[in-house]
Amino acid sequence: MNQKKNNTGKGILCLLGLLIVIAVCTFFAAGTLEKSKLVTDENGATMYQEGGIKLGLDLAGGVSITYKTKIDEPSAEDMSDTQYKLMQRVQNYSSEAEVYQEGTNRINIDIPGVSDANKVLEELGKPGSLLFYDMNQNVVLEGSDVAAAEAATYKDQTTGAMEYTVRLQFTEEGTKKFADVTTANVGKQIAIVYDGVMYSNPVVNEPITGGQCTISGMDSYEEASILASTIRIGSLSLELEELRSNVVGAKLGQEAIATSLKAAAIGIALVCVFMIAVYRIPGMAATLALAIYTGLIIILLAAFEITLTLPGIAGIILSIGMAVDANVIIFTRIKEEIGVGKTVKSAIKTGFQKALSAIVDGNITTLIAAAVLFIKGSGTVKGFATTLALGIVLSMFTALFVTKFALNALYEAGFADAKFYGVRKEKPAINFLGKKPLWFTISGVLLAVGIAAMVMNKGSIGGAFNYGLDFKGGTSTNVTFNEEMSLERISTEVVPVVESITNSADTQTQKVAGTTEVIIKTRTLDVEERQALDAALVENFGVDENKIVAESISGAISNEMKNDAIVATAIATVCMLIYIWVRFKNISFAASAVLALVHDVGIVIACYAIAKWSMGSTAIACLLTIVGYSINATIVIFDRIREHIQLEQKAHGMLVTDLKQVINLSVTETFTRSINTSLTTFVMVLLLYVMGVSSIREFALPLMAGILCGTYSSVLLTGAMFYVMSKNQKFELAKEEEEEWRP
């Protein structure tokens, strides 16, 4: 009796400790959100308080700088190359920075999270000419011969002092030039001159033929970083000069931020209610873990200075879904263990053990994708990968440790009866494979309709998809109003007028701080539409028509950035395939998982074509979210299939007597998990759609389609594809597993 009281007291103390942790996390998270609110100075410029979450250009605004080429008619190739290189440069400020062409000879840079345009200009450097001179003052290399430059530090093994250097990587042509120059100038100096100022004059110690070199002698990392930045900006194809710089407001506006936060809060609350209603005491433990998860992710976003944008929110939503998913997997296992007669305490322990492999494999697979996307991607892709990776690590931690701690504490506090946890009896397997021809046909028809829609779209709208501003550019209209327009007025009054002319929800607006000027970006407008927009602005707001200036702008996502995203996704897919192959010891698992992933992405792309949804940077984030969501759902089912195959092998002398039955049983056992996880994630996105502004809804709708598609494929297709690929295999166990099963 005393032991029972001691355990109860211990459980209550653990719960109180957990509640204190939640209170502390909530306190600091609330402080972080408060500091994340934007304030303005006396000139109307956006100010960011130290310690808050950095918001991206779409959520908070930043600095906009316009450069003009020194030559009047640059080639399209040089402009594209310069745009891409500038994009690589400004990502030192933020992975969410945007670079796009304006007119024929101007390039615009938008950098979120900063408010001092002069400081950015000073740090970014004036993009001028970069030249390498030998001692006879001959130009031996130009900036265009440099492919990359980065600052680095190392410890001198002799003196122990820190050395600061700049590492250069030359282009193919630059490599040949540099090899010839260094061979001819051993023991001599080569000066690096930028806009007439010598930044470095290193001595050539030996011929350098590998296309790389190191410049040493800097006194600090900051000095090395400045030199590296100077070299990078000087390697542009074109010489540029600053035309103008402004502090601009958010593209989406404060309303978008407010509604997104409300939707997230309501969504998390509904998820918690759902988990408690369905899973009882385990659901309560999940709610406590989710509270800590929510507080920690807000705090860590600020601590790691991660710039949060709309695509980043998608990564967080996905990680919340995965956090819920991990708990659902665990609780389902606990119910099963209670159903076969185990005590609650034993069921909790075994449930976590059996759920571990599915949770770890699913999260690591998605984490691999996030890592590759971060390393190889740029812009939106990199921002998405950052928040996704943070969310995955945090969700796995809270599911495996916080939920377990909370569940054991609740058990010790007196919730020891099996009725608080639920019992799951063994159910007969549903014959999912019996209708696999139907599932394959449905998918094939949807994909075929999507391809047909792409072909038809080329004739009707000029492209396979309804490409948005980020991809194909459009028209930028600068309007000077007679009075300052608040973000709310712009959103509720100006945008509807613009969209009545463009018949498109793809409208971006930004305020120029300290002025009454508003930048309106829309799809490309013809002459009649520009005139109609000018007339509507004059009629509705009384603006001076002479103060309305329109320019054509390029897409913020260049061809190179598109290629980066495609290459990153392809590499991530291959890496996931290899991991699944190694982890599950069967290529059929890996091949069918990747095939299901490609199917889900293909179906959502088909939806973009069929429904003519605007395809922009948020579309990339949406498709990447689906990649992570799809692979995680598939891993859970494959983990069950692997487990039952091992049990069959143990029982029947290394043979699987009925693979079809094994697959049907595995899908049946994970069916509730698939529905519950999809439902909770779907609700989160649905609330964003219902409560959000038009640009948020444009993002949420395809994401909902992807969640539905991912659920469909994981339940109905993955098992069927695995069966088709492996029905003739013998499924031999690895040597160590064979010894483990052998009596």
Domains of the chain: 62-121 (3.30.70.3400), 130-235 (3.30.1360.200), 254-445+559-741 (no CATH), 474-553 (3.30.70)
Tell me the pLDDT band of 370, cut-offs 50, 70 and 90: confident
Residues 6+ apart with CB under 8 A from 257: 55, 59, 60, 250
Residues 6+ apart with CB under 8 A from 216: 163, 164, 165, 202
As a 3-state breakdown, the chain gives helix, strand, coil percent values, each rounded to 5, of: 60, 15, 25
Specify the pairing of strand 146-155 against strand 162-170. antiparallel
Question: Two tokens at 742?
Answer: 């052998």
Residues 169-221: tens digit of each pLDDT: 888 888 999 999 999 999 999 988 866 778 778 888 888 888 888 877 778 88
Beta pairing partners, 168: 149, 213
Phi, psi of 389 (to 5 degrees): -60, -45
Residues 404-422: tens digit of each pLDDT: 999 999 999 989 899 899 8
Residues 489-512: tens digit of each pLDDT: 887 888 889 988 988 777 878 777
Nearest CA to 392 out of 409, 378, 371, 377 is that of 371
Q: What percentage of residues in the chain have a pLDDT greater than 70? A: 84
Local structure of 264: helix, strand or coil: helix
Specify the pLDDT at position 569.
79
**Mean pLDDT along residues 326-342:** 89
Local structure of 565: helix, strand or coil: helix
- Distance in angstroms (rounded) separating the CA atoms of residues 89 and 68: 17
- Distance in angstroms (rounded) separating the CA atoms of residues 391 and 321: 10
Whether 720 shows a pLDDT value over 90: the answer reads: yes
Lowest mean pLDDT among 45-49, 114-118, 418-422, 639-643: 45-49
Residues 6+ apart with CB under 8 A from 546: none
* Residue 99: its H or E element: strand 98-102
Specify the pLDDT at position 738.
38
Tell me the pLDDT band of 439, cut-offs 50, 70 and 90: very high
Whether 149 shows a pLDDT value over 60: the answer reads: yes
Beta pairing partners, 110: 64, 98
Residues 226-247: tens digit of each pLDDT: 777 767 666 667 777 777 777 7
Quickly count: other Cβ atoms within 10 Å of residue 172's Cβ: 9
- DSSP H helical ranges for 545-616: 559-584, 587-611
Tell me the pLDDT band of 476, cut-offs 50, 70 and 90: confident
Nearest CA to 59 out of 290, 299, 314 is that of 314
Tell me the pLDDT band of 734, cut-offs 50, 70 and 90: very low
**113 in Cβ contact with 61 (< 8 Å):** no
Provide the mean pLDDT of the chain: 82
Nearest CA to 270 out of 320, 335, 334 is that of 320
Specify the pLDDT at position 736.
39
493 secondary structure, DSSP code: I
Question: Two tokens at 153?
Answer: 């530090």
Residues 89-127: tens digit of each pLDDT: 777 677 667 788 877 888 888 887 666 666 666 655 555
- Distance in angstroms (rounded) separating the CA atoms of residues 38 and 514: 15
Tell me the pLDDT band of 130, cut-offs 50, 70 and 90: confident
Lowest mean pLDDT among 441-445, 521-525, 692-696: 692-696
**pLDDT higher for 686 or 470?**
686
**Mean pLDDT along residues 594-602:** 90
Specify the pLDDT at position 743.
30
- Distance in angstroms (rounded) separating the CA atoms of residues 212 and 445: 52
Residues 73-88: tens digit of each pLDDT: 888 888 887 887 777 7
55 secondary structure, DSSP code: B
Specify the pLDDT at position 63.
78
Whether 378 shows a pLDDT value over 70: the answer reads: no
Question: Two tokens at 230?
Answer: 């100077």
Whether 49 shows a pLDDT value over 60: the answer reads: no
End-to-end CA distance of the chain: give it in Å, rounded. Answer: 42
Question: Two tokens at 308?
Answer: 């949060």
- Distance in angstroms (rounded) separating the CA atoms of residues 393 and 631: 16
Tell me the pLDDT band of 345, cut-offs 50, 70 and 90: very high
Specify the pairing of strand 466-467 against strand 614-615. parallel
Tell me the pLDDT band of 256, cut-offs 50, 70 and 90: low
* Residue 613: its H or E element: none
Specify the pLDDT at position 50.
58
Specify the pLDDT at position 8.
85
Residues 6+ apart with CB under 8 A from 598: 573
Local structure of 252: helix, strand or coil: coil
Local structure of 211: helix, strand or coil: coil
* Residue 141: its H or E element: strand 139-142
Phi, psi of 475 (to 5 degrees): -120, 130
- Distance in angstroms (rounded) separating the CA atoms of residues 46 and 58: 14
Whether 346 shows a pLDDT value over 90: the answer reads: yes
Specify the pLDDT at position 288.
94
Whether 141 shows a pLDDT value over 70: the answer reads: yes
**pLDDT higher for 670 or 566?**
670
Whether 262 shows a pLDDT value over 90: the answer reads: no
* Residue 630: its H or E element: helix 617-651
- DSSP H helical ranges for 340-467: 344-376, 380-397, 403-412, 436-460
- Distance in angstroms (rounded) separating the CA atoms of residues 154 and 721: 51
Nearest CA to 628 out of 318, 345, 353, 393 is that of 318
**268 in Cβ contact with 316 (< 8 Å):** no
Whether 165 shows a pLDDT value over 70: the answer reads: yes
Quickly count: other Cβ atoms within 10 Å of residue 602's Cβ: 16
**Mean pLDDT along residues 698-706:** 85
Residues 286-307: tens digit of each pLDDT: 999 999 998 999 899 888 877 7
> What pTM value is reported for the model?
0.71
Specify the pLDDT at position 606.
94
Phi, psi of 493 (to 5 degrees): -115, -50
Whether 349 shows a pLDDT value over 90: the answer reads: yes
SS (H, E, C) 647-664: HHHHHCCCCCCCHHHHHH
